[in-house]
Structure 1
Amino acid sequence: MRFTHETLPQRVRFATGEAAAAVTEEAELLGIRRAMVIASPRGAELARAVTSGIGVAVLHDGVREHVPVEVADAARAVAAEHDVDGLVCVGGGSATGLAKAVALTSGLPVLAVPTTYAGSEATDVWGLTREGAKTTGIDARVLPRSVVYDADLTVDLPVSLSVTSGLNALAHAVDGLWAPRADPINAALAGEGARALATALPAVVDAPRDATAREQVFYGTYLASVAFASSGSGLHHKICHVLGGRYDLPHAATHAVVLPHVLALNAPHAPEAERRLAAALGASSAVAGLADLYHRLDAPRSLRELGLREAQLAEAAAAILPAVPPSNPATVSRSVLLDLLRAAWGA
């Protein structure tokens, strides 16, 4: 074997039912005395409870999906005004993304407490949206130093959001199998992450308040995100970044809708990855296994339902094409992208 693998430095703590105590201890280890707590308005009460044992200088709830630059600039100004020495984000990918935007320019340490399965907490990837264009990058400053996973914080997450968020996590695993820096270690992490997600998500649908099942979703989410962070963004994420940033589509649901179509395109050209994913899904083929999982989860199926207009498909294909990784298993042209988007739009 010949490959180079990089593992990101991060402390991860699974502490179901113990989020507040764990956050107190992790903040102490990071030397955070004047925290800027970042959460959505809906998650502010939970954030206050989770951070009750630490010094909080300000709670900032100016969170928006896809992190528009003006939202990032406002949060950076708040951090400077209150002279904070650390960031604690409590919530989904949007809260984590905003904390990353502040860390990108300040270098402040981030302590992440996820309440969805977005997976952003395990990556050094940041994203900002300006005038309909989403820009992403990699920077060590945005990687949360500590992550606290408490499955109890997700038991009230509605089933529909649990499904789309969990499939977003599964997309990290799938991309991790053939993204530009994919390697055998990433493949092992992605395979186990996919297996855990495919097993646990149906259990969450059956018993939404089962913390044990949700803990397994967090486990799969973390493994998939670590694989994704190391392997880089594949075709799936390039497509979803354009759709989300340009058309303001819901992040997790967009990932859920697009994933089966990218898998169908790439699987015939990546037999080893296909076999690993099929095994993780417990199926004879990855495509069939994913279809069965989507049926079991009653997952969203079309971009049309998410608000994308048919007249926008050609423009979207043209915008995605320059971002397609040259190493993608299948050859991708504008017409291939347009066919894929049409299928996802009308599925």
Structure 2
Amino acid sequence: MRAQIDAFTYDALPARIVMGAGKREEVAAEVGRLGCTRPLIVTTREQAALGDDVARQFDAGSTTRFADAAMHTPWDVTQRALDAAQTARADCVVAIGGGSSIGLSKAIALRTKLPQIVLPTTYAGSEATPIIGETRDGQKHTQRTLQVLPEVVIYDVELTLSLPVALSIASGLNAIAHAIEALYAADANPVTSLMAEEGIAALRESLPRIVHSPKSVETRRLAQYGAWLCGTCLGTVRMGLHHKICHVLGGTFDLQHAQTHAVLIPHVVAYNAHAAPQAMARIARALNARHAWTGLYELAVELDAPRSLEALGMLESGIDRAVELIMQNTYSNPRAPDAHALGHMLRQAWKGVPPEPME
């Protein structure tokens, strides 16, 4: 018998999702569908060749490439990209890559209102959200506005086949973190919760397979599907403590984004365990584990994922500063942030020891 459904609100995001192998060949058609002809193509330096491949779909001289996207969307990079867009008289942005390229595309759209077409190459999920995070003066600030939501997202599984296994794992755990926070968000709803549990389960199944068969199209397709669901959850409901911590650590200590999520999510789940028992039960079920926090940590061990902030390059001496910043402008969370408890949790995460529920 289905449980009683309480009153809820669900806002569907107005984005066009195109999913399938080889769909990157339809970029020009999607640009035309938006009534545009002069795209600014955004990538990182490492993925500049992908931008060149997409540019071949257009008439010579009608595209401009910007290949300096960087992690955490630093303001100086955004300024240069805005100059490039203005000089080129670009009428849309095409972003190819992970969070760095997509974040820069959003930063451009925020200030120019140019439409975006995004081709993700990782499982980060930023493409599915109306959220932007930007770094200035050593601090990362986020905001939520539909102005940065891409109009079109093209999920071409072939673009993920070359994603290194280690980055695939970290990116996949990052995606799982999105869905986990959606399950205990203050504005959670039955629709998002269904997507969240399905997204976690899809990634729990696919990530170990990627370790053994990284070129498997079917495995990568399942992971991409799970990442889309998890990203959509993040875009639909509000972020919690986990994302606040990751934004602080990434912006202040320049830690790698996906790897920071991978390290922290078992510990934040343990921090919230007693305050969100129903969410914990759904997470454990999706992971096929006894407890949510142990299931996440054991999955990280199985995948040989990063498990300590120390290994990511953070100094233990930075923990007190991190707690100070986390306590400023806190996000909604089932358990109120407590400076002493947060310091203890971050020290556990810094050491990489198994997480424990905290009273």
Measured against the shorter chain, the TM-score band is over 0.9
Deviation at 1:3, TM superposition (A): 1.9
CA shift for structure 1 position 221: 0.7
Map of 2:234 onto structure 1: 228
Q: Distance in 1 between matches of 2:84 and 2:104?
A: 12
**Residue 65 (structure 1) aligned with residue 71 (structure 2):** yes
CA distance in 2, matches of 1:163, 1:32: 36
| Structure 1 residue 294 displacement after superposition | 1.2
Which of 136, 141, 144 is the matching residue for 1:135?
Answer: 141
What CA distance in whole angstroms lies between the structure 2 residues aligned with 1:238 and 1:272? 22
Residue 57 of structure 2 corresponds to 53
The 3-state SS of whatever aligns with 2:207 is helix
Give the aligned partner of residue 324 of structure 2.
318
- Assess if the C-alpha contact under 8 Å between 1:321 and 1:337 holds in 2: no
Q: In the superposition, relative to structure 1, how do residues 331 and 204 fare at CA in structure 2: closer, same or farther (>3 Å)? A: same
Alpha carbon RMSD of aligned pairs, Å?
A: 1.2
Secondary structure at the counterpart of residue 179 of structure 2: helix
Residue of structure 1 in register with 2:10 after alignment: 5
Equivalent in 302, 313, 321 of residue 307 of structure 1: 313
Matches within 5 A, 1:180-195: 180-195=186-201
Alpha-carbon distance, 1:169 to partner: 0.6
Do the aligned residues in 1 keep the contact of 2:23 with 2:155 (CA within 8 Å)? no
Give the equivalent residue in structure 1 for 2:356: none
2:46: which partner in 1? 42
Q: How does 1:10-159 map to 2 (within 5 A)?
A: 10-20=15-25, 22-55=26-59, 56-159=62-165
Gaps of 5+ in 1: none
CA distance in 1, matches of 2:323, 2:139: 14
In structure 2, C-alpha distance between the alignment counterparts of 1:185 and 1:323, rounded to whole Å = 28
3-state SS of paired residue (1:147): strand
| Cα offset, 1:141, TM superposition | 1.4
Aligned partners of 1:57, 1:226: CA distance in 2, in Å? 30
Secondary structure of the corresponding residue to residue 304 of structure 1: coil
Q: Distance in 2 between matches of 1:244 and 1:72?
A: 18
Confirm whether residue 268 of structure 1 aligns to residue 260 of structure 2: no
Maintained 8 Å contact 1:128/1:134: yes
Judge conservation of contact 2:241–2:337 (CA < 8 Å) in 1. Answer: no
CA deviations on 1:262-296 (whole Å, 9 max, x unpaired) are 01111222111111111111122212221221121
Q: 1:267-306 counterparts in 2 under 5 A?
A: 267-306=273-312
- Are the equivalent residues in 1 in contact too, given 2:23–2:154 (CA < 8 A)? no
Indicate which of 330, 335, 338 corresponds to 2:340: 335
SS where residue 296 of structure 1 aligns?
helix
5+ residue gaps in structure 2?
Answer: 1-5, 353-359
The alignment's TM-score, normalised by the length of structure 1, stands at 0.97
Segment of structure 1 superposing worse, 195-204 or 43-52: 43-52
Q: Offset at 1:303?
A: 0.5
Q: Do the aligned partners of residues 25 and 15 (structure 1) sit closer, same or farther apart at CA in structure 2, a change above 3 Å counting? A: farther
TM-score w.r.t. length of structure 2: 0.94
Deviates more, 1:76-85 or 1:42-51: 42-51
The list of structure 1 runs, each at least 4 consecutive aligned residues, that deviate by more than 6 angstroms after superposition, is none
The alignment status of 1:248 with 2:254, answered yes or no, reads yes
Contact 1:238/1:323 (<8 A) preserved: no
- 2:209 equivalent among 203, 219, 228: 203
How far 1:200 moved relative to its partner? 0.7
Q: 1:173 touches 1:225 (CA, 8 Å); kept in 2?
A: yes
Distance 2:14 2:92 in 1: 17
* 3-state secondary structure, aligned to 1:322: coil
Which residue does 1:175 correspond to in 2?
A: 181
* Alpha carbons 2:246, 2:261 under 8 Å: kept: yes
Q: State how far apart, in whole Å, the 1-side matches of 2:150 and 2:266 are.
A: 30
- Deviation digits for residues 157-209 of structure 1 (CA, Å, limit 9, x no counterpart): 11101100111111111111122322222211111110111111111111011
Q: How many residues align structurally? A: 345
- 2:238 is aligned with what amino acid? G
Secondary structure at the residue paired with 1:311? helix
Report the Cα distance in structure 2 between the residues aligned to 1:201 and 1:292, rounded to whole angstroms. Answer: 13
